[in-house]
Amino acid sequence: MDTLYISYLVCIVSLLILKPENVYSQDGLAGLGDLAKMFAMMSGGDECKLTCPKSIEPTANPKHKPSSNGCGSFGFKFDVSKFPGFTSCCDAHDMCYDTCNNKRNDCDEDFKECLNNSCHMEGIKEKHHKKLHEACGQTADMMHSGTVGLGCAAFKESQRNACLCNGKKLSEKDVKKYHKY
């Protein structure tokens, strides 16, 4: 197994085990943002994009149809049933990643905004108890931090499927050859 995948699994297991009250202080995130930044640097940082050999610009694969799988990645699914609207945010994020030449940062920022808007709208509509509304915001922050810190591999794989380089789809081997995760 490669190091990034193992790091991803460790973080996912940690997020599933930790309770939000153990991760957050009254002032917000207590170190999770720094952890996300550290993993973002390990997984490509600001340079997370599909690059074709010989600096050829990727073009849309006409046979590819963007898809989504709800809230999860690499076979993991997250139960977001307490927070209506999150699944549609995850689906929109997946579709963004899975559209050729989209910028990862734009997808991640739109995802964050969608999650936060969902918490706000559901809080108003359902008049959530304050603790549930806070938990919604904390979960949104955690999910966004996870995508920022660990999403580069998923983004590049989605772009590999969505784009062609000089009329051909890059193999997984080619992606590893031309990209460092």
Burial 5-42 (b: 16+ CB within 10 A, else e): eebbeebbeebeeeeeeebbeeeebeebeebbeebbee
State the catalytic residue, choosing from 93, 94, 98, 179.
Answer: 93
3-state secondary structure of 29: strand
Residue 172 Cα distances to 20, 116, 131, 156, 176, angstroms: 36, 34, 44, 10, 6
Judge contact between 129 and 31, C-beta under 8 A: no
- Active-site residue, 93 included: yes
- Please tell me the distance from the alpha carbon of residue 123 to that of residue 168, in angstroms, as a whole number: 47
With tokens 């999770």, the residue in question is: 32
With tokens 């938990």, the residue in question is: 135
State the catalytic residue, choosing from 98, 108, 141, 179.
Answer: 108
Q: Which residues are catalytic?
A: 93, 108
